[in-house]
Amino acid sequence: AQSVTQPDIHITVSEGASLELRCNYSYGATPYLFWYVQSPGQGLQLLLKYFSGDTLVQGIKGFEAEFKRSQSSFNLRKPSVHWSDAAEYFCAVGAQAAGNKLTFGGGTRVLVKP
């Protein structure tokens, strides 16, 4: 069975500082990996996805993520955080055989200090 762990429930970062959100997954085969962001009162928006190929993927809003098979990780990074990045971030894993069923991590809530 697939599982996703986001070890950090909350992260506080100063505006302009860098941000890294951790994600570890468990899946037997090559996973399809995603990061979604949820702003308060909103649905989720896809930031980026990894299916295969280059292990460093670029997404929207200046985010990037790196797939490391040896560590079963897919960490999300942003070099310089803006106040509008305050939101909850979810890592998710999927599999081709599972249709569009995604397994989500518990989320990391990011607070941005001015």
Partner 1 sequence: KAGVTQTPRYLIKTRGQQVTLSCSPISGHRSVSWYQQTPGQGLQFLFEYFSETQRNKGNFPGRFSGRQFSNSRSEMNVSTLELGDSALYLCASSPGQGAFSGELFFGEGSRLTVL
Q: Which is nearer to partner 1, 5 or 15 (CB)?
A: 5
Site for partner 1 in 72-101 (CB under 8 A): 90, 94-101
Site for partner 1 in 2-31 (CB under 8 A): none
Q: Which is nearer to partner 1, 78 or 108 (CB)?
A: 108
Binding map of partner 1 across residues 56-75, x = CB under 8 A, - = no contact: --------------------
Distance CA 37, CA 72 (A): 21
- Tokens encoding 72: 């079963």
In angstroms, what is the minimal distance from the CB of 64 to partner 1? 17
Judged by CB under 8 A, the residue of 13, 15, 49, 66 near partner 1 is 49
Binding map of partner 1 across residues 27-46, x = CB under 8 A, - = no contact: -----x-x-x----xxxxxx
DSSP string, 53-88: S-SEEE-GGG-EEEEEGGGTEEEEEESS--GGG-EE
Angle value at C-alpha 111, between 34 and 58, nearest 5 degrees = 30
Residue 28: helix, strand or coil by DSSP? coil
- A 10 A CB-CB count for 69 gives 10
Query: What residues line the site for partner 1 (CB under 8 A)?
Result: 32, 34, 36, 41-46, 49, 51, 90, 94-107
